[in-house]
A = this chain, B = another copy of it.
C-alpha cells in the first residue's frame, strides 16, 4: 500500500484535425475534432504522482530528467485540480498544502515527432484527479494542459466538442464508440527520417487563424459537415467513408497551413510519396482500403483494417525498401503477403531509408490506473532511475 498514484495513457491520432483556437489561454478550439485512441499497451505516457508533507517543493521529472515546474500549462492543471478538491472537500485541507512530485515518461522516442504531450497531459491529469479524489470531467482538465490531450482520456474513437461557452466548460471530449466497437481497426505509424525543425503547432495555428483566407471555409463549412459524417461512418463501421473523410481532412488541414502567411509546411517529399502510395494501392484495389493522415509533422499514420496489413506492408516494402527485422515495432506484425505492383511508372520510385521504422498498433483503451504499480517514484517520492 502506497500513496503513489501511477497511470498510463494513450496517444491519439486525429481523423478530423484540431487546428486553431478561439481562446488561446483556455485552449478552446475553433472546431470539433475526432480521433482514434491508440492502444496504450503499444505507445503510452506513464506518470506517477504523490503529495507529502515532507516535500519541500513541487518537483517534476520528465523522461529521466529534472524539469522546471514553471510551465504555465502544468501550473494551470494543478491549480484547477486543487481548486476542485477544495470545493468538493475531497481531501483534507492539509493535503492541499502538500507539495507534489511528478515523474513521467514516454515508452516511445519523443524524437519520433508523435503527439507525446497529448498522452502526457491525459496521464498527468488522470493521476492528479485520482490523487486529489476530485470528481470532474477529466477531458476538460487535460485540455487545459494540451488541447488534444482531452481526446486521450477515452478509448476507442473520441470527439472533442468545441463548445460555445466563453469559459470553455462545454469544450470537452466524449467517446463516439469504445475500443471494442471496431475491433479490427489497425494503425501503422510510419516514422520518417527527417530532422527538419517545424513550426510549433501553437505558433502554426495562430498564424493560420490570423492569415489564412481558406481557414474560414474550413471552420464554417468543411469541418462541421465532415464531423457528422465521420461519426456516422465510425458507428456504422463504414470503412471507405471513414477513410475518405480522414484523407480529405488531413489534406485540407495541410492546405490551410500552406495558405497561411508565411505558410506553415509540415509535409515533406517522403510524406507526399506516402500519399501517392496509398492512392495507388486504393486505386488498384478498386475501393478505399487504407487512409493516411498527417499531424503537424511529416510522419504518416495509416488507418486500415487488419486484413489489409499483410498486403500494405508489401506495398510499403516496395516503395520504401526495408530489411531489418526490427523495422516493424509494436504489435506482432503478420507475415508480409506479396502484393503485385504492376505499374512501371512506380518502378523507379523505390528509395531506401526514407522511413526510419513502422509502429504497428490498433485503436485501444483510454488511460489505465496501475493499482499495483510499478511506479516511477520510489518510497521517498524520488524517481527510480
Contact = CB atoms under 8 A, between A and B. Distances in A.
A261 B275 contact: no
A316 interface: no
Interface string A230-259: 000000000000001001100110111011
What's the dominant secondary structure at chain A's contact region? helix
A244 B258 contact: no
A268 interface: yes
Contacts of A259: 214, 248, 251-252, 255
Oligomeric state, in copies: 2
A279 interface: yes
Residue from A244, A259, A262, A272 with most neighbouring chain B CB atoms (10 Å): A259
Interface residues of A, number: 29
A202 interface: no
Given A213-B222, A214-B217, A214-B218, A247 B265 contact: no
20 contacts: A213-B217, A213-B218, A213-B221, A213-B222, A213-B252, A214-B214, A214-B218, A214-B222, A214-B255, A214-B259, A217-B217, A217-B221, A244-B261, A248-B259, A251-B258, A251-B263, A255-B255, A255-B259, A258-B258, A265-B275
Interface of A: 197, 213-214, 216-218, 221-222, 244, 247-248, 251-252, 254-256, 258-263, 265, 268-269, 272, 275, 279, 345
